[in-house]
Amino acid sequence: MNLFPLEPFLRPLSENPWTYLVFGVIGFFFGFVLESSGFGNSKKLAAQFYFTELTVLKVMFGAIVTAMVLVFFSSAIGILDFNLVYVPETHLWPGILGGLIMGVGFIIGGFCPGTSLVSAATLKIDGIFFALGVLFGIWSFGETVDWYWTWWNTSGYYGRLTLMDVFHLPTGVMVLLVVLMALFMFWGAEQLERIFGKRDLTKEPRQRIFGAAALVVIALAVIVLGEPTTAEKYARATLTRTVDGEKVTLPAEEVLSRRLVQIHPAELLNTLADPRLSTIMLDVRSEADYNLFHIRGARWVPLERLPDLVPSLLTMDANRTIVVVMSNDEAAATDAWRLLVAEAVPNVYILEGGINNWIAVFGRGEADIIPTPVPGAVDRLDYSFPAALGDRYEAADPNPHEWEIEYTPRIELQRRRSPSGGGCG
């Protein structure tokens, strides 16, 4: 049973084509609510910069905070895996510059890109011209991005970064602090409207107080419930695999026990040689064993440091990236696999038989590598080497064109929809 009921909605549209209809309905009602709230009126939107009408600020931040609280509450009670939610990567300096450009455009034109489409849909002339300006800006960006591509992609790059990462605070505490900050902002916005817009606050609906209280209560519940542990996430994790010619969704532990994710060394070699794929190899053995011998291109990551690598793995292109974990046999690699699967890292596999099996397959005939197996030993390197040459042994970088080995393919890309933009734009 899938204990993440919301997970199917996060799968690719190719697997669930009917979700186009769902998204279309959501988009229609989103635009309807914006128009009904007056967000298709440039005068109402621009008034926020003069502190006379701050409805836009309150609605947008209200939506953001409500979504945040519900997302993390859903995560705390186990119906949503937050790692499956796309978090835009942080590019600090390009983001600041883009925000300034958009802010100036908002002041001058009275719209953000999203609200301009709402206005254009109701045939308002200023909205139509603003939407055309947005299209021109997109075209101009596409024509000039090569001039500043490096700066745009690398300046202030922090990857998948959340406030919990920045302030090193538990999720629940950070959620509560953001809610309190937002409520203070709402109060301050009303005071500005009273002073600059001469707004009579006694006529404001009292229901907003109950809404604020509900946000605080749910944020406190997130603190009390806490985030699911890695073990709890793994117990709920499921994977889709082809069994007897049919796609089936199985619990992660069943997939592991049926050996559907242990790939033969020859399959890893062919995957490394495939230019269409990007293969990340994570070697979780001891540093001493890694220095003695490792596959060329493999990255040494001690098991205890593997969680630190998860945020960067979640930002990789899941439609073409394979992650292969390896140890001397399969013991430590299996622990690493469980951790990565629990954290929703896609396309993770285990090197079958570990480094010992890799050397047994590709190290035949290399006189310097001497078998020294110890019966019953767990996660021990079964070979001795004359020196710690790492990946400079011939077996560390075999030529895929010189080896023709039959094996049962295990790799199946768990394709995901490409990330899309969000927010006001």
* pLDDT at 301 exceeding the cut of 80: yes
Confidence class for position 81, pLDDT limits 50, 70, 90: confident
The pLDDT tens digits of the residues spanning 254-272 come to 999 999 999 999 999 999 9
Residues with Cβ within 8 Å of residue 198, at least 6 apart in sequence = none
The pLDDT tens digits of the residues spanning 394-406 come to 999 999 988 989 9
| Range with lowest mean pLDDT among 4-18, 141-155, 199-213, 327-341 | 4-18
pLDDT of residue 161: 87
Contact of 161 with 90, CB cutoff 8 Å: yes
Tell me which H or E stretch contains 104: helix 92-109
Which one, of 324, 326, 332, lies nearest residue 359 by Cα? 326
Strand order in the sheet with 278-283: 262-263, 348-351, 321-326, 278-283, 299-300
For 24, 38, 52, 56, 278, the CA distances from 195, given in Å and listed in that order, are: 41, 22, 8, 18, 58
* pLDDT at 246 exceeding the cut of 60: yes
Confidence class for position 79, pLDDT limits 50, 70, 90: confident
Output phi, psi for 157, to 5 deg.
-85, 125
* pLDDT at 111 exceeding the cut of 70: yes
Residues with Cβ within 8 Å of residue 334, at least 6 apart in sequence = 256, 350
Q: What percent of the chain has pLDDT over 70?
A: 93
Confidence class for position 204, pLDDT limits 50, 70, 90: confident
- The structure tokens 């990255």 sit at 299
Residues with Cβ within 8 Å of residue 189, at least 6 apart in sequence = 54, 57, 58
pLDDT of residue 304: 94
pLDDT (mean) for 192-204 = 87
Comparing 273 with 206, which gets the higher pLDDT? Answer: 273
pLDDT of residue 423: 53
- The structure tokens 């970088």 sit at 397
Q: Report the C-alpha gap between 289 and 301 in whole angstroms.
A: 12
Confidence class for position 55, pLDDT limits 50, 70, 90: confident
Give the helix ranges, DSSP H, for 122-264: 125-144, 149-154, 163-167, 171-196, 207-225, 230-236, 252-257
Tokens of 142: 């596409």
pLDDT of residue 413: 86
**Longest alpha-carbon distance in the chain:** 89
pLDDT of residue 11: 56
* pLDDT at 419 exceeding the cut of 70: no
* pLDDT at 164 exceeding the cut of 50: yes
pLDDT of residue 12: 53
pLDDT (mean) for 279-305 = 96
pLDDT of residue 197: 87
* pLDDT at 241 exceeding the cut of 50: yes
Give the helix ranges, DSSP H, for 37-91: 42-46, 55-77
Highest mean pLDDT among 240-244, 407-411, 415-419: 407-411
pLDDT of residue 2: 43
pLDDT (mean) for 223-230 = 91
The amino acid at 270 = N
pLDDT (mean) for 369-395 = 90
Confidence class for position 1, pLDDT limits 50, 70, 90: very low
What domains does the chain contain, in order, with CATH numbers?
7-231 (no CATH), 239-402 (3.40.250.10)
Confidence class for position 205, pLDDT limits 50, 70, 90: confident
Q: Report the C-alpha gap between 244 and 246 in whole angstroms.
A: 6
Q: Report the C-alpha gap between 5 and 78 in whole angstroms.
A: 9
Which one, of 270, 252, 269, lies nearest residue 261 by Cα? 252
Confidence class for position 14, pLDDT limits 50, 70, 90: low
| Range with lowest mean pLDDT among 90-99, 109-118, 410-419 | 410-419
Distance of CA 332 to the CA centre of its chain: 25
Apex 416 CA angle, 415 and 417, nearest 5: 135
* pLDDT at 302 exceeding the cut of 80: yes
Beta-sheet pairing, 321-326 with 278-283: parallel
For 14, 268, 366, 378, the CA distances from 354, given in Å and listed in that order, are: 35, 11, 18, 11
* pLDDT at 237 exceeding the cut of 50: yes
pLDDT (mean) for 61-85 = 90
pTM to 2 decimal places: 0.79
CA dihedral 258, 262, 267, 271 (to 10 degrees): 120
* pLDDT at 29 exceeding the cut of 80: yes
* Cα-trace Rg, the chain: 27
For the chain, the average pLDDT equals 89
Q: What percent of the chain has pLDDT over 90?
A: 58
* pLDDT at 422 exceeding the cut of 60: no
Q: Report the C-alpha gap between 60 and 106 in whole angstroms.
A: 15
